[in-house]
């Protein structure tokens, strides 16, 4: 992956904030588990690479934050994929996250830019999603097949539809709060998210009280824009529920794509496609990773070398 450089102004601003991170925690003697994610730098990096506008940043950014939060359920080399396929102008997105070491998130919008007929009047995203389906795919370490669950989108909101997904598919009460704050110029000021999930045996009244506390918390985007920390927000919002932080990880926009993998793909071309690339190019040949929008360029000499060499593997 090639990360596009952020502007000096953005870098200077981000350096005034707390680092991106995700904190996992337990409430009320382990009856509720949660995670709180700060991802302002991650969303800035995502926006830079994918060249997204405000609407696109808002939708894809929420998907990145949600996927990052879901890594709190992962172990080892597990991965989780969050996909929305919909009939609205946004068309949907595909996002993937892993938590081997730090949390790494990548993914793309199916329609970028998203066509709009008039300026945004609110951040109600339901008109841009329309009818559709939300899919969660867990790729577990050592498992032969990924575990996939799909539910119909009922709200046109990533947070609400994810909560509904867990309730319908796993009968587990779950809450998501996703927040991206923009300044008056449309720049990302702060970004974060909260995930809460009830463990078996939890008291219904405790769940109600914790939900009330979460709903009354300040805007996470604004909190992080003002250099607030994840730990302080957890302790502030859930002070009545004996919060216990059990883990902290860094959070990054990161893609596993590499130049040699694209060159190996080109080397594997056969038949008319191989012939067409050899004879017609165009050169330089440009390939784009859809997960991070990195463009890899290959010269005519490189292409001819791998397509006319019997040993096509490239190291």
Full DSSP string of the chain: --PPPPPHHHHHHHTTSPPPEEEEEEETTTTEEEEEEE-HHHHHHHHHHHT--HHHHHHHHHHHHHHHHHGGG--TT-EEEEEEEESSTT-EEEEEEE-SSSEEEEEEESSSSPP-SS-------HHHH-SEEEEEEEE-TT-SS-EEEEEE-SSS-HHHHHHHHHHHHH---EEEEEEEEE-TTS-EEEEEEEEEEEPTT--HHHHHHHHHHHHTSPPHHHHHHTT--HHHHHHHHTGGG--EEEEEEEEEE-----HHHHHHHHHT--HHHHHHHHHH--SSEEEE-TTT--EEEE-HHHHHHHHS-S-----
pLDDT above 90 covers a percentage of the chain that reads: 84
Mean residue pLDDT of the chain comes to 94
The answer to pTM > 0.85 is: yes
Q: For the domain with range 259-307, which CATH number is right: 3.90.1280.10, 3.20.20.10, 3.40.50.1820, 3.40.50.300? A: 3.90.1280.10
**CA atoms of 183 and 24, how far apart (whole Å):** 28
Q: What is the mean pLDDT of residues 297-302?
A: 94
Question: Considering the domain 19-253 in this protein, what is its CATH number?
Answer: 3.55.30.10
**CA atoms of 300 and 310, how far apart (whole Å):** 18
CA dihedral sign of residues 216, 219, 223, 229: positive
Q: Is residue 70 pLDDT above 80, yes or no? A: yes
Strand partners, 247: 24
Q: What is the pLDDT of residues 208-250, one digit of tens each?
A: 899 999 999 999 999 999 999 999 999 999 999 999 999 999 9
**CA atoms of 208 and 173, how far apart (whole Å):** 11
Q: How confident is the model at residue 312 (pLDDT cuts 50, 70, 90)?
A: very low
Residue showing tokens 């292409």: 303
* 27-31, 111-115, 151-155, 162-166: least confidently modelled range: 27-31
Domain range list for the chain: 19-253, 259-307
237 or 201, which is more confident: 237
The predicted pLDDT at position 120 comes to 84
Q: How confident is the model at residue 143 (pLDDT cuts 50, 70, 90)?
A: confident
């Amino acid at each position: 992956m090639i990360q596009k450089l952020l502007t000096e102004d953005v870098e200077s601003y981000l350096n005034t904030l707390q680092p991106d991170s995700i904190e996992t925690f337990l409430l009320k003697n382990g009856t509720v588990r949660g995670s709180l994610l700060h991802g302002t730098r991650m969303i800035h990096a995502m926006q830079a690479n994918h060249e997204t506008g405000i609407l696109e940043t808002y939708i894809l950014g929420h998907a990145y934050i949600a996927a990052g939060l879901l890594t709190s359920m992962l172990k080892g080399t597990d991965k989780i994929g969050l996909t929305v396929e919909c009939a609205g102008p946004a068309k949907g997105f595909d996002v993937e996250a892993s938590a081997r070491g730090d949390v790494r998130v990548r993914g793309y919008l199916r329609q970028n830019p998203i066509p709009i007929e008039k300026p945004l009047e609110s951040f109600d995203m339901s008109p841009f999603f329309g009818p559709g389906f939300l899919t969660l795919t867990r790729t577990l370490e050592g498992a032969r097949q990924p575990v996939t669950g799909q539910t119909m989108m009922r709200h046109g909101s990533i947070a609400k539809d994810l909560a509904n997904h867990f309730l319908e598919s796993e009968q587990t009460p779950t809450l998501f709060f996703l927040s991206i704050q923009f300044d008056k110029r449309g720049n990302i000021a702060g970004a974060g998210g909260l995930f809460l999930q009830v463990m078996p045996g939890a008291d219904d009244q405790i769940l109600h009280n914790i939900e009330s506390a979460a709903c009354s918390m300040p805007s996470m985007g604004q909190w992080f824009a003002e250099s607030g920390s994840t730990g302080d927000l957890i302790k502030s919002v859930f002070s009545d529920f004996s919060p216990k932080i059990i883990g902290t990880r860094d959070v990054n926009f990161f893609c596993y794509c590499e130049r040699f993998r694209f060159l190996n793909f080109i080397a594997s071309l056969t038949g008319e496609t191989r012939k067409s690339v050899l004879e017609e190019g165009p050169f330089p040949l440009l390939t784009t990773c859809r997960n991070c929008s990195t463009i890899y360029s290959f010269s005519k000499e490189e292409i001819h070398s791998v397509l006319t060499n019997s040993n096509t593997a490239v190291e």
